[in-house]
Amino acid sequence: MKIQIEKAVVTFNPESQSEKDALEKLWRLLIDCSGPTLKICPIGEYVPSSNNGKGAMFYIEGMERSTDPKIIEFAKSGAYTPTTVTEDCTVYCSICNKTVDLKAGDAIPRCCGKLMFNNDS
């Protein structure tokens, strides 16, 4: 798959039928015409010389909040188990200092490959 980067836009160009199928599956997972569009966030690090043939990993932010039955089934399958907050709070990323306000019952999002932290805990 060819990846082109032009400023803030990344374009994935599949080069085989299996890559086309995988990209279409990802696209349909991320885009919901009647709901929110999900975001892809990097997990950990990608260092080609030391990754032992593993590709770059990404987390699909917002999957746990989706109303799409396919996404809910995936989230309930155990592939992703959200950690939730018990009361309204603000969580932060200790790496990039991003903050997110959450309501009781919301899932704690991941940022920079890790769960964000609650100031109160």
State the pLDDT confidence band at 3, using cuts at 50, 70 and 90.
very high
Q: How far apart are CA 121 and CA 113, in angstroms?
A: 20
Interatomic CA distance for residues 95 and 37, integer angstroms: 25
The residue type of 28 is R
Name the pTM for this structure. Answer: 0.49
- Where exactly are the structural domains of the chain? 31-118
- pLDDT 10s digits, 43-80: 777 777 776 767 888 888 766 555 556 555 655 555 55
d(CA 113, CA 80): 14
33 against 87, higher pLDDT: 87
Coil/strand/helix, residue 65: helix
Mean pLDDT of the chain: 77
Q: Which residue in this structure is represented by tokens 């039928």?
A: 17
Name residue 91's amino acid.
V
